[in-house]
Amino acid sequence: MTRYRWVAARGAEGFPITMAAKVAEVSRQAFYDWRQRTAAGPTAAELAEVELVELMREIHAEHDGTYGVPRMTVELARRGQHVNRKRVERLMRAHGIVGVHKPAKVRTTIPAEENPPMPDLIGRRFAPAAPDVAWCGDITYIPTGEGWLYLASVLDLGSRRLVGYSMAEHMRTELVADALTMAAGARGGQTAGIIFHGDRGSQYMSGDYRAQIAELEMVQSVGRTGVCWDCDDPGVLLRSA
């Protein structure tokens, strides 16, 4: 409620306007001027501003709330409303029209520069008849208030259970190596002959990771670079945890 409306409400209750205006810290003449303007209804300029704000709301909704002041100004001009940037900024702020920026997509699969020949032993057949026949690994990312957090997961395709995972603020080979170490520990080190399937990202194709696969007597299999359905759905890895 504005001060003028408060004074008007007190006047309607029978209080003297002069006293109410003094309490509200407005002049008696300013109150009467406001009441006269209110009685006359909105001006043409006020109506035009209401229409402009409604158009801005439409533009904001049409573009999923992503338009801030610069793009809103350009779009208004495109629709015949040539409004200066400062006025657009003032109206957006006054009416709570805020442009929301979508978070940047993080690239988790970086192709290895030297990809050695490696077979695809899974061929998108992600339902072996028993556990510990084939495992699948992938990296995903989680936005936090302090930056990105990366999650490497190892899924047993036969049981659909998450057998290993690792979280870190980086995507170096250690991230996926730690997840595989956890998975091997969960199976008591009995990993000989298990197929490990991943993509052709630099982490999975690194010499250190391939050496770890060999030490565990596992068989490495790869799909295509950065294609989630070649190394199972990363969402399944998270939902299985």
- Tell me the pLDDT tens digit for each residue of 184-223: 999 999 999 999 998 888 888 888 999 999 999 999 988 7
Characterize 220-235 residue by residue with b for buried, 16 or more Cβ atoms within 10 angstroms of its Cβ, and e for exposed. bbbbebeebebbbebe
- Secondary structure tally for the chain: helices H, strands E: 10, 5
Specify the higher pLDDT residue, 15 or 144: 15
Query: Rounded CA gap, 234 and 103, in Å?
Result: 19
Which helix (H) or strand (E) segment holds residue 156: the answer is: strand 147-156
* Mean pLDDT of the 78-89 span: 92
Domain 134-239, second-level architecture: 2-Layer Sandwich (3.30)
Cβ-based neighbours of 157, under 8 Å, separated by 6 or more: 122, 126, 127, 128, 133, 134, 135, 136, 197, 232
Q: Are strands 134-144 and 195-198 parallel, antiparallel or unpaired?
A: parallel
Q: What local confidence, expressed as pLDDT, does residue 105 receive?
A: 60
* Mean pLDDT of the 156-180 span: 91
* Mean pLDDT of the 112-116 span: 57
Q: What local confidence, expressed as pLDDT, does residue 239 receive?
A: 41
Model confidence at 165, pLDDT cuts 50, 70, 90, reads very high
Name residue 110's amino acid. Answer: I
Q: Using the predicted structure, report yes or no on whether residue 77 has a pLDDT greater than 70.
A: yes
Enumerate the domain spans of the chain: 3-94, 134-239
